[in-house]
C-alpha cells in the first residue's frame, strides 16, 4: 500500500484549510461514518465482540483495511481533509464493500465541486417522445424528484398528476408525508429507500441547491422513516426491474419499468424518464390498455 500512503501524504499537503468543514466535506464524512457502521467486523476478517461500543467498524479498523493512517482517516470523517486521491478512495471503497453507485457517490463527494443544479427544462422533443410512448405510462422527474412532465397514461397510472388542483408533485414528499402512498406502493419500504438514495445522490452532486436542502430538511422534520433511512447513507441510482402499483380502478399491477437519463450537460444527468409496461397478453397489459385514453396529451408541472 506504499502507493496509497504516498498519495495520502500528497493529499494531506494539498488540503485547503478554508474548505475544511465545508458542506461537501461534512457530507463526505457523514457518508463514510454511515458506511463504516454498516460493515460487520467478522465479514472483513476482524474479530467481533459483544463488548464493542460502536456499530460496524472502528475508525482505526477501517484505516487499517484501507492502508491509510488513522489520523488521515479521522480528518476525512471530520471534514478537515479534502479531495483525497483516487487511490485512497479506491482503497476505502474496497474496504467498505461499496457498490458501483456508492463508489460514484463517494467520488462525487470527494471532488466537492460547486456544480449548479440543472434546470428542469422539458424540451419539445422530450414532450413528443412522451406522447409517442403512449399507451405506455411515462413521466419525468428532476433531481429533486419533482414530476415535471408526463403523458396521459402516466398521469392515469400514478394518479393525480393531471389534476390541476394538485400543486405538489414531488415523489419523495408524497411517499413520506402522504399516508395513502403505502396503499399505492405495496413494497413501500423499497420505494422509500430508492427515493432517499436518489435524493442523497443529488445532494452530493449539488451541495449548494437550497431548494433541495429545504426538501430534505422538511422530510427529516416530518418523517421519522425518512430520517432513519437517511442516516444509513443509502445511495441508489435509477435502474430497471419490476414494481407493483395499486390503482383504484385496475387494482394491483406488477409492471416492468425502465429509467432513461436525459443529460443536462456533458457527463451530467438532468431529467429522468420513467417508463412502465407489461408483457402482451397479461392482465397488466389489458389493464394499461383500459387506462389509456384515446387522445394522448402530455402534461407538465406548468400546465
Q: Could you read off the pLDDT of 53-71 as tens digits, one per residue?
A: 667 888 999 999 999 999 9
Amino acid 9: pLDDT: 45
Predicted pLDDT of residue 7: 45
What percent of the chain has a predicted confidence (pLDDT) above 90?
46
Closest residue by Cα to residue 137 from 274, 14, 290: 274
Could you name the CATH architecture of 2-111?
A: Orthogonal Bundle (1.10)
Residues of the chain with CATH 3.30.450.180: 124-300
pLDDT of residue 243: 92
SS3 content of the chain, % helix, strand, coil (to 5): 50, 15, 35
| Residue 163 binned pLDDT confidence (cut-offs 50, 70, 90) | low
Does residue 225 register a pLDDT over 80? Answer: yes
Alpha-carbon distances of 31 from 24, 25, 103, 141, 147, rounded to whole Å: 10, 10, 11, 25, 27
Q: How far apart are CA 115 and CA 64, in angstroms?
A: 33
The predicted structure's pLDDT at residue 266: 54
Q: What is the pLDDT of residue 39?
A: 86
What value does the mean pLDDT of the chain take? 82
Alpha helices in 21-151 (DSSP H): 23-36, 59-66, 70-77, 86-96, 100-111, 124-133
The pLDDT of residue 51: 66
| pLDDT tens for each residue of 198-217 | 999 898 888 889 999 999 99
Q: Considering only CA atoms, which of 206, 194, 205, 261 is closest in space to residue 234?
A: 194
Residue 269 banded pLDDT, cuts 50, 70, 90: low
Tens digit of each residue's pLDDT (9 = 90 or more) over 238-260: 778 899 999 988 899 999 999 99
The pLDDT of residue 195 is: 94
**What CATH number is given for 124-300 in this structure?**
3.30.450.180
Q: What is the pTM of this model?
A: 0.76
- To which residue does cell 457517490 refer? 105
The C-alpha cell at 175 is 411517499
pLDDT, greater one: 191 or 25: 191
The three-state (H, E, C) secondary structure of 73-99, written as one string: HHHHHCCCCCCCCHHHHHHHHHHHCCC
Reduced 3-state DSSP string for 214-272: HHHHHHHHHCHHHHHHHCCCCCCCCCEEEEEEEECCCEEEEEEEEEEEEEEECCEEEEE
Q: Residue 227: what pLDDT?
A: 94
CA–CA separation, 56 vs 50, rounded Å? Answer: 12
List where CATH 1.10.260.40 sits in the chain. Answer: 2-111
d(CA 243, CA 189): 12
pLDDT, residue 267, reads: 52
Examine the pLDDT at 220 and tell me if it is beyond 70: yes
Amino acid at each position: 500500500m506504499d502507493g496509497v500512503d504516498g498519495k495520502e501524504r500528497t493529499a494531506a499537503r494539498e488540503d485547503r484549510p478554508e474548505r475544511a468543514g465545508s458542506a461537501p466535506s461534512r457530507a463526505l464524512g457523514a457518508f463514510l461514518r454511515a458506511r463504516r457502521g454498516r460493515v460487520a467486523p467478522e465479514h472483513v476478517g476482524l474479530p467481533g465482540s459483544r463488548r464493542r461500543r460502536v456499530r460496524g467498524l472502528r475508525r482505526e479498523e477501517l484505516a487499517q483495511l484501507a492502508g491509510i493512517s488513522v489520523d488521515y482517516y479521522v480528518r476525512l470523517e471530520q471534514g478537515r481533509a479534502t479531495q483525497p486521491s483516487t487511490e485512497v478512495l479506491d482503497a476505502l471503497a474496497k474496504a467498505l464493500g461499496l457498490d458501483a453507485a456508492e463508489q460514484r457517490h463517494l467520488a462525487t463527494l470527494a471532488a466537492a465541486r460547486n456544480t449548479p443544479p440543472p434546470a428542469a427544462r422539458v424540451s419539445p422533443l422530450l414532450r413528443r417522445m412522451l406522447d409517442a410512448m403512449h399507451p405506455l405510462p411515462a413521466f419525468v422527474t428532476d433531481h429533486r424528484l419533482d414530476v415535471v412532465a408526463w403523458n396521459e397514461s402516466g398521469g392515469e397510472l400514478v394518479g393525480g398528476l393531471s389534476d390541476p388542483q394538485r400543486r405538489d408533485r414531488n415523489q419523495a414528499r408524497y411517499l413520506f408525508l402522504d399516508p395513502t402512498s403505502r396503499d399505492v406502493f405495496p413494497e413501500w419500504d423499497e420505494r422509500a429507500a430508492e427515493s432517499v438514495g436518489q435524493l442523497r445522490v443529488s445532494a452530493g452532486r449539488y451541495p449548494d441547491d437550497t431548494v433541495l436542502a429545504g426538501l430534505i430538511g422538511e422530510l427529516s422534520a416530518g418523517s421519522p422513516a425518512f430520517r432513519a433511512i437517511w442516516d444509513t447513507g443509502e445511495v441508489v441510482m435509477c435502474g430497471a426491474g419490476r414494481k407493483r402499483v395499486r390503482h383504484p380502478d385496475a387494482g394491483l399491477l406488477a409492471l416492468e419499468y425502465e429509467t432513461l437519463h436525459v443529460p443536462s450537460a456533458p457527463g451530467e444527468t438532468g431529467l429522468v424518464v420513467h417508463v412502465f409496461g407489461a408483457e402482451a397478453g397479461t392482465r397488466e397489459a389489458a389493464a394499461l390498455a383500459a387506462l389509456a385514453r384515446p387522445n394522448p396529451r402530455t402534461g407538465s408541472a406548468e400546465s
